[in-house]
Structure 1
C-alpha cells in the first residue's frame, strides 16, 4: 500500500495511482497466501474449540519500502469483491507492530459470518492513533483450508447418520410428532407441521382459530363473567379511561337481531365521525347498504336520521315528548307552555293530553291541568282562547281561569251560550298559553 508515514493527505496523481495499484496488488497477493496459511495453522492449534477468531498476516509497504512501526487496522467482511453488502465489521485492531513490512493481527467477527457463502475481506490501515485510515482498493476472497472447518469429532460420525450429541444425547436421536404435530422428510428436507388439534385450549379451522369450552378473559386471572372480558388496559386520557379494545378507522362491532327481521346492527368510527347503523347484510358480507340512525361528528354535532348534522342536535323526523316532557331554549326570549284540546258536549276529551274535562252543568265545563301553570307572586295569568268546534251549537264561548281552585292556574272554566246568551251544551276547542 503506497502511503507516507503520517498519511496526512492522500491525493494521488495518475502516476501515483498506478504505482499504488501495483503495490496494493502485490500486497494482496502476498496477503492472500498468508491468510490461507494462517487458516491452516489456526485449525491445527484450536480445531477442537472451533473459535471464531482467526489470524491475518500481510505485508505493508510505505512508498515501496517495507513499513516499520505501529499501525491501526480495520477489517470488514463483504459478500462481493466490489460494492456488495457489508456482512460484518469493521473490526478495529490497534497498535499492530509492523516489522520490515510484515504484520500479524487477530480479528474476531463472531459467529454466523462464514456460513458457506462467498466472503471477501477489506483492509484499511492508519498510523497508530492517527485515525486517518486508508482503504486498500482490492478486497481479498476468504478461502477455506482443508482442515480449518473440520470438527474434532467429525471423523467419528458415520456417513449418513444423525449426529448423536444433540442436547447431550449419546444414542441415535429420533424425532417423533405428537398432539397433532407431524414430521415428514423429502430428501434432505425435514418438515414439521401441525393440524391445530393439539392439546391447547384453541382449535383451528383453516386459517381461523376458535374456542368453545367456556369464557375468555384478557388482562385478569379472574374467571370472566361474560364470554369475553377485557380488563386492565393501559391508561387513556387525563381522566384515566382505560383502553380495553382498539379498532382501526372503518372497524365496527356488529350484532345479529334475534327476531325474524333479518337485520344486523353495527357501530363504529369512519372518516368524519362515529355512527350506528343497520343493514340486511350478514356479518362478513357486503350485499346491502347501511342505514344510518345515529351519528356524532368529529365536531361534536349529533345527528338522528342524518350523517351530517349542522347543529349540536339535528333530527330528521318527528320528535315526541312524554306527558311531562318539555322542550326549551335557554337563550330564547320566551319559554312558553301550550295546552290545547277539544271537548264534546258531554264533557268527554276528544283531543289533547295533559288535562281532564268535566261538564259541571248545562253549558258549563271545567278543564283541570295535570300540571298547573306557575302561581308565584307576579306570575302572569295564562291566556285562554276557546272557539266553537266544527259541529258545535253555541256560537259564543267564554273562558277564564277559575281563581277559586288552588293553585289559581290549574282549573279553567268554559261557558257555551246561544244567541240569547242562554247556557247550552256544545262542542268546543281551546288553547291555553302561559309561562313555564
Structure 2
C-alpha cells in the first residue's frame, strides 16, 4: 500500500511542477507595483529539480522596457531584514520585450524550501552591463508552488525515512474516491466505504457495483467493443475479486450485492464466477455458478453445482452437487459426487458414478464405474456396476461387470463378462468369456472359443467350456516350467488322459500281481449312488476300502483313475500268470493223458483174443 501511495504522490508532484513552471510574479519598477500578466504563447516546462521559473513585467519611467537587462535574485526568510537563504543568483543579458521577461532556472539549492515562508528580493540594471543594480521594493512573497521542491525532498522516489504514517500519507481525508491516472486515463481507483474499500485497477471502464464492499479488480479490461460494448471487468457482489483479463465478472449481478460474495475470476476473458465463494481461474467463456464451485480453465465450461469442479477442457459441465469433470470435451457429470475424468462426450449421470475417460461412455448407475473405451453404457439400474473399457458394452444390473471387449452385456445381478466379443452374462452370478458365450442361467461359468457360433448354458450352476483345440489341466511343472503332472482331453477326444511320462516319475517299485489280485478278490465291490444324484447308480469300491487294500492315492476319500487302472492292470497280470501256470499244467496233463491212452491202447491190443 505504501508503494501505491508513493506512486500516487509522484503523479501529484508532477502536477505541482507544471504549475510551478507557469507561475506569475510581480515586479516593482520606479516605485510602481505592476502585476505581471499571463505570458503569451506556450510555456516551456522544465524537468523536476531544485530550479524554478520566474516571469514578470518590467517598466521604467512609466514605459515598458525593451532590450537586455541584468537581474539579481536573493532569497530571504523575512519580508524585510531577516537572513538570506543560499547565494544570490545573477542572470545577465536577459531579453525584455514589451516589458515581459522570463528567468527559467532560479536555483537556491535543495534546502532552500523547507516549509517556511520565503521572500524574493530582485535587483535590476538596464541596459545590461551598465552602472549598478537597483533593488526593487518590496520583496516578492513566494507562493506555495515552489514548495513542491520541499515535497520532492520529503517523498523521494528512492525511498524515505523518518516518516509518521499517522500524519504523513498519500490520499484523501474526505469520503471521496482516490484515482491514479496515466496519460490522463484512470489506471487505479480506490473507493472508500465503512466496511472495506474497493480497489479498481486496469482499464478505466472496469467497475464495482454501487454498494459493493471489499471488491478488487487487479487489472485488465479493454476498450475493444467486441463484447457488445467495452470489454470491462466487473465485480457485482461483496468481496469479489478479478485478477485480470477482460470482460470477466465476479458476482451474479442480480441487484443484491451480498447474496453471492467472495467470488473470484483469476483472468482470461468472458468468464463469470457467480456463485458464493465460486472461482474461475482463467480460460474463456467459463462459468462457476454453484456455491464454492470451481472452473480451472479451458473454454465454455460450466460448474453449476455446489462444490462442483471442472478442471479444464472445453464445453464440459459439472452440474450437480460436488460433481467433477477433470477435462476433455463435452463431458457431463450430472450426478451428485459424480466424476468424469476426461475424454469426449462422456456422462456420469447418477450419484457417485464415475467415467474415467474414453468416448461417449455413460455411467448411469448409483456408484457405477466406467473406465473408458467407446460407447459403453451402464444404465440407470446398474448400481455399483463396472465397465473397464472396450466398446459397445452394456451393464444394466447392479454389481454386474464387463471387463472389456466389444458388444458384451452383463444383465444379471453380480454377472461378469471378462472380455471378448458378443458375450452375455444374463443370469445372476453368471460368467461369460470368449466369443458368443451365452450365460442365460444363474450361476453358470461359460467359456467359448473363437468359433462364430453361440455357446449357451443349458442349466443353472453349470460349468461349460467350448475348446475345440483340446483341454488341459496342468497340476505340476519342472524347474523349466514344463508340465510334469496333469490331465487333458485331446482335440476331438472324449475322455481324460493323465500325463504319464516316465521322465515325470520316480521311486519305481515292483508290485506282486498275485497279491494285488488276491487283495482285489477280497475288495468289496458294490453298486451305489451319490447323495446328490437321485436315480443314478454307480458300481465300484469306496475310497476307504480301496486305500485300505492297496495304500495308494492322495487320501482315503478319493480314488485316482490312474490308481484304479494300475490295480486293474496288476490284477490282470496276476490272472495272466495263473492262466499261464494252468495252461502249463493242462499241457502236462494232456501229455500224461496221451501217454496213458497210448499205454492203454497197447494193453488192450495185447489182451485182445487171437482169432482162430
Query: How would you bin the TM-score normalised by the shorter chain?
Result: under 0.3
Higher relative contact order (CA 8 A, sep 6+): 1
Higher Cα Rg, which structure = 2
Query: Which has a greater percent of strand?
Result: 1
